[in-house]
Structure 1
Amino acid sequence: MYYSTMEKFGVEKRDILVERVGDARDSQSDVRETFRSSLEQFQSVVGTPETTLQEKYEVISNAYDGSLNSSNKVQDRIEAVENVSEVLFNEWENEPDLYESASLRKTSKRRLDETRKLYSSLIT
């Protein structure tokens, strides 16, 4: 229903997919930076006296929580990409039935199978 509504406003499913893939990529970059920051904080703790260990633990714990939050956002965006991808594949699967030409139907089905295999190899 969401995709039908968006199409009525001129936003195609493939445009939604492109946007969601970009969001997922950006989230992965954010997570990478958060983990890097967490590692740097951990390394700073290892080199500190034990008198400030509790404070450093809090810093590391907060950094971990931030990393976990970022990781969850990436997972949510990946799921959004998979969702719109599946809708597009389902739509494509029904398209060949509309073709009068047997050759076009066969070509469309072959390309769908090839694209599904490629997509599966990219997400696993």
Structure 2
Amino acid sequence: MPRLFFILVMVALSSCTQLYYKAQEKLGNEKRDILVSRIKKEREDQEKAKEQYRTTLEAFQAATGFQGGKTEDVYKKLKKEYDEAAERTKKVSERIASIEQVSGDMFKEWEKEISMVQNADLRSKSRVLLRDTRQRYSDLLRRMKAIEAKAKPVMKAFEDQVLFIKHTLNAEAISSLKTNVAKMDAEVQGLIRDIEAATKEADNFIASLPMGA
């Protein structure tokens, strides 16, 4: 029964995806256009996540200078920043999944269309173009996946500190941040650099993507 349910769900999702593509085609948007749009949105999501990671880190750094007051207020501030970062991270992952879906469908369609070309020379050139585009896409996807993976320990470090402060709610817990903030800073700065590099690679991929893909 579970296997049958899974199959039915996948069939339903596939049908919805095909209907979406057909609707987009009526608007003049091919799979290439959808892919470019999603990569641009992923770039925007990564930029927002990058800024939120920086803001969250700054909130933790500021908390190390706690000089008295309500520790609960400090916790609420850090929790708010962490939640924002978690939401941004989730959006980046969801966008990557949507990119993988449309790129897979685009490359399948491309391969099918190449098989329909009778001219051997044109067919060969199309295959070379497909191979090169797929390689550049693989490089871009690998970089996006690397950012996704690198964000996990950063978010976990944020979460650990927030939970520790929540469970104790005292000045000593907040002062303990000082021993971990330096490591958190190094991890966040490394993540930010990777996001900036991914942005450039996304721009290069979009510029190199053939118009007829």
Q: Same fold (TM over 0.5)?
A: yes
1:44-59 matches, within 5 Å, as 44-59=62-77
The gaps in structure 2 that reach 5 residues or longer are 1-17, 143-213
* 1:51 shift after superposition: 4.0
Q: What SS class does the counterpart of residue 41 from structure 1 fall into?
A: helix
User: How many residues end up aligned between the 2 structures?
Assistant: 124
The corresponding residue for 2:22 is 4
More relative contact order, 1 or 2 (CA 8 Å, 6+ apart): 2
The corresponding residue for 2:36 is 18
The corresponding residue for 1:108 is 126
The 10-residue stretch of structure 1 (24-33 or 8-17) with the greater mean CA deviation from structure 2: 8-17
Distance 1:121 1:37 in 2: 29
The corresponding residue for 2:102 is 84
Amino acid at match of 1:122: L
8 Å Cα contact 1:38-1:63 kept in structure 2: yes
Distance 1:114 1:12 in 2: 20
* 1:5 shift after superposition: 2.3
Amino acid at match of 2:38: R
The corresponding residue for 2:150 is none
8 Å Cα contact 1:27-1:70 kept in structure 2: yes
* 1:9 shift after superposition: 2.6
* 1:110 shift after superposition: 2.0
* 1:50 shift after superposition: 4.9
* 1:112 shift after superposition: 1.2
Q: List per-residue Cα deviations over 1:50-93 (Å, max 9, x = no partner).
A: 54322111211111111010110111112212211111111111
Q: List per-residue Cα deviations over 1:8-35 (Å, max 9, x = no partner).
A: 2322222211211111111111111111
Length-normalised TM-score, structure 2: 0.55
CA RMSD of aligned residues (A): 1.4
Length-normalised TM-score, structure 1: 0.91
Distance 2:85 2:121 in 1: 51
Q: What SS class does the counterpart of residue 30 from structure 1 fall into?
A: helix
Distance 2:135 2:27 in 1: 31
* 1:103 shift after superposition: 1.3
Amino acid at match of 2:107: F
Amino acid at match of 1:47: G
The gaps in structure 1 that reach 5 residues or longer are none
Amino acid at match of 2:87: N
